[in-house]
Chain A
Amino acid sequence: MNHNYQKDISGCGLTGLISRKRRRVSGSHIVKSLCLMTDRGNGLGAGYAAYGIYPEFKDFYAFHIMYDEPSVRRTVEDVLKASYHIEKIEEIPTSPVKTIPISPLLVRYFVEPLKEKLVGDVEESDFVVSTVMRVNSEIEGAYIFSSGKNMGAFKGVGNPSDIAEFFRIGEYEGYIWTAHTRFPTNTPGWWGGAHPFTLLDWSIVHNGEISSYGINKRYLEMYGYKLTLLTDTEVAAYLLVLLIRRHGLSIPVACSALASPFWKNIDRMDEGEREALTALRLTYGSALLNGPFSILFGHSRGLVGINDRIKLRPLVAAIKDDVTYMASEESAIRAICPSPEKVWAPRAGDPVIVDLED
C-alpha cells in the first residue's frame, strides 16, 4: 500500500439515515446521498457502515479484516482460531472497478469467543476489543476494521461511487446507514484510514480535524486502547466506546463530555447542572474533543449526530415518516428524500439522538 500521499486541504462529507422501525433499506440509497457530495472528498477515501445487514449471523461478531499482503492472513487466522469459534469465513464480495486497481485482501469472519478463554470477570466484548487492538497493533499489515454484531463497515481508497460499486453496497439492506467521502488533511489516504472507524458495534464518520488528538490518544492509551490507524477520527470512536460502554455514561452525557459547554456558560447555569457539568469536565478533560468536527456515530440501538461547540463544520437533519436523515448538506438528504417533513440545522454541541424502536 502507498501511504505517502501529500497533505491537502479541504472538507469531507458525511451522510446517514436510520429507520426507527428497523425497516431495512438498500444501501443504494445512502450511496446516492453520498455521491451528491463527491466533490467534498478527493477520491482518497470513502466508506459505508450498515446495521442489520447480517441477520443470519446476528449472534456472531463480524470481523472485517484487511490484509496488506495475503501472507499475513494465516498469522491472523491462527490467532483467531486459538480463541474463537469461527462460524464462517468468506472473502468480502467485491466487484472489479477500473479506478481501484489495487486493494488489500478483504476477508470477513463470523466469530464468537471460546467460553474457556473468558477467564475471571472478563466480558466478552472486552475480550473482542483486546483481540482487535492486538491484531491491529502487533500484526504488521493486518487490520480488523469492523468487529460488531449484525453490522459492518466497508471502506477504502476511492471515490464514493467506486467504493460502493467495489463493495457492492447496493446488495446490503440495513436499518442504520452512515457514509463518508474523505479529503485527508493531515494524515495519509490509505485503506485503513478511510471512514467509518468502528469498534464492536460502534461506528464513526467524521468531517473535521480533532486538534486534541494527542491528549485524547494518551488518555485512551491509559485504558489499553492502541491507536493504529494514523488518523484523528479513531480517537472519537474509541472515546465513545470507553465512555458509554465501559464507564456507563448515557449518550447525552457522553456527548457533553466530548463537546462540553464553555465554562462561561456553565457558570451561568443552575446550581445542580453547574455542579454536574463541572464534575464532568474535570473528570473527562482529556476526552474533550477540540477543533472543528461534525460526527455521525452509529451503534446497535441508534444513530447520533453531533457538532463541535461552535459549529465549525456543517450538519443538517431531516425527518420523513420513521426515518431520520443527517448529512453535511441538505441537498444530500433531498437526493434520497425530496420532501422531508422537517429539516433543521442542529445547534453547536447539541446532539441529535435517534433510538431504534424495540
Chain B
Amino acid sequence: MVKIDAKGTYYRDLNKKVREAVEKGEKEIVLENVNGQYYIGDGLRAKVSITVEGVPGNDLAAFMDGPTIRIKSNAQDNISNTMNSGKVIIEGHAGDVLGYGMRGGKLHIRGNVGYRVGIHMKGDKRQGPTIIVGGNAGDFFGEYMAGGLLILLGLEGDGPIVGDYLGTGMHGGTIFVRGEVDGNMCGAEVGVMEPDEDDMKVLKDALADYCADLGLKLEDVMAKGFKKLVPVSARPYGNLYAY
C-alpha cells in the first residue's frame, strides 16, 4: 500500500504520481488531503484500488477501465464519464452529470446527486453500466438513456426523490425508483410499471453489492416497493424525418 499526500499538489503532479505508482504494480493507493484536484483515475487501465480522502475535483474516473476508487467524502461533477469498467464508491453526496455516456462498471453513491445523472448511459450484449444513488436526484435523471441500470433509492425520505424530465429521451436500459413516481415528471418516452420477479432479482443482486460497499442492510433497502421505468418505444424519433 502506498500513501500519497495530495495537500496543495497541482492536479497534473498528483495524477502523475498515481500513474507512476500504478506502473510500478502498486495495488492499493491512498490519496490523503485531496481537495479539488481534477481528473483522478482518468483513463487508468489496471486492477488497483484507490482511496480518496477529501473532496476530489471534477472529471474523476473518466474513461476509467478497471480500478476501484473509494471517495470517503463528497465528490463534485462529471464523475465516470464514458467509464468502461471498474467501480467508483462515493460515501457522501455528488454533483451533476455523473456517468455521462458510461458504458460499463459501477458507480455507487451513498448520498444525493445533482442534475443529469446517468445521461446517455449505454450498454450492449456484453456489458452494461450500473449507477445506484442512495439519496435524491435532480432533473434529467437518465436523460437519453440508451442502456444499463440506474437505481434511485431516496433512503432519507426528505424532499422529492427525483426532479423533472425523468428519463426524457430514454430509449434503452432500465431505471428503478424506490417509492412512487410522479408521471408529470417523466419524459414522454417513459413507461412506469411494477417490477416482476426477474426485475426483483436484478435489483437484489445490484443492491447487495451496493449495501456491502456502503455498510447498509439489504433488507432495509428492499423494505419499500420499487417502480420500474423503461422506454415504451425503442426508436421514439425513428419517424422524425419521415413526415
Chain A positions within 8 Å of B, measured between CB atoms, are 36-37, 39, 265, 268, 310-311, 314, 316, 329-332, 334-335, 343, 345, 347-348
How far is it, in angstroms, between the C-alpha of A334 and the C-alpha of B33 when the chains are bound?
11
Q: Which of A316, A334, A343 contacts B35 (CB 8 A)?
A: A334
Q: How far is the CB of A292 from chain B (nearest CB, A)?
A: 11
How far is it, in angstroms, between the C-alpha of A330 and the C-alpha of B95 when the chains are bound?
9
How far is it, in angstroms, between the C-alpha of A329 and the C-alpha of B139 when the chains are bound?
19
How far is it, in angstroms, between the C-alpha of A311 and the C-alpha of B164 when the chains are bound?
12
Select the residue from A39, A345, A348 with max chain B CB neighbours within 10 A.
A345
| Interface members, chain B 48-85 (any A CB < 8 Å) | 54-58, 74, 76-77
Chain B positions within 8 Å of A, measured between CB atoms, are 11, 35-36, 38, 54-58, 74, 76-77, 93, 95-96, 112, 114-115, 138-140, 163-164, 184
Q: Which of B96, B139, B140 contacts A314 (CB 8 A)?
A: B96
Instruction: Check A348/B35 contact, CB under 8 A, given A268-B184, A331-B76, A343-B74.
Output: no
22 contacts between A and B (CB under 8 A): A36-B35, A37-B36, A39-B38, A310-B115, A310-B140, A311-B114, A311-B115, A314-B76, A314-B77, A314-B95, A329-B77, A330-B55, A330-B74, A330-B95, A331-B54, A331-B57, A334-B36, A334-B55, A343-B93, A345-B93, A348-B115, A348-B138
Question: Is the pair A330, B38 in contact by a Cβ cutoff of 8 Å?
Answer: no
How far is it, in angstroms, between the C-alpha of A37 and the C-alpha of B36 when the chains are bound?
8
Closest 8 CB pairs of A and B: A331-B36, A311-B115, A331-B35, A331-B55, A36-B36, A345-B114, A330-B55, A334-B35
Q: How far is the CB of B115 from chain A (nearest CB, A)?
A: 4
How far is it, in angstroms, between the C-alpha of A335 and the C-alpha of B164 when the chains are bound?
33
Residue of A nearest to B165 (CB): A310
How far is it, in angstroms, between the C-alpha of A347 and the C-alpha of B56 when the chains are bound?
22
> Which residues on the B side are within 8 Å of A345 (C-beta)?
93, 95-96, 112, 114, 138
Question: Is the pair B76, A329 in contact by a Cβ cutoff of 8 Å?
Answer: yes
How far is it, in angstroms, between the C-alpha of A228 and the C-alpha of B39 when the chains are bound?
38
Select the residue from A310, A330, A343, A347 with max chain B CB neighbours within 10 A.
A330
> Which residues on the B side are within 8 Å of A332 (C-beta)?
36
Residue of B nearest to A343 (CB): B74
> Which residues on the B side are within 8 Å of A343 (C-beta)?
74, 93
Q: How far is the CB of B98 from chain A (nearest CB, A)?
A: 12
> Which residues on the B side are within 8 Å of A39 (C-beta)?
11, 38
How far is it, in angstroms, between the C-alpha of A67 and the C-alpha of B137 when the chains are bound?
49
Given contacts A37-B36, A311-B138, A331-B35, 9 further A-B contacts (CB under 8 A): A314-B96, A316-B95, A329-B76, A330-B76, A331-B56, A331-B76, A335-B35, A343-B93, A345-B114
How far is it, in angstroms, between the C-alpha of A332 and the C-alpha of B95 when the chains are bound?
14
How far is it, in angstroms, between the C-alpha of A290 and the C-alpha of B11 when the chains are bound?
34
How far is it, in angstroms, between the C-alpha of A316 and the C-alpha of B58 when the chains are bound?
13
> Which residues on the A side are within 8 Å of B96 (C-beta)?
311, 314, 345
> Which residues on the A side are within 8 Å of B115 (C-beta)?
310-311, 348
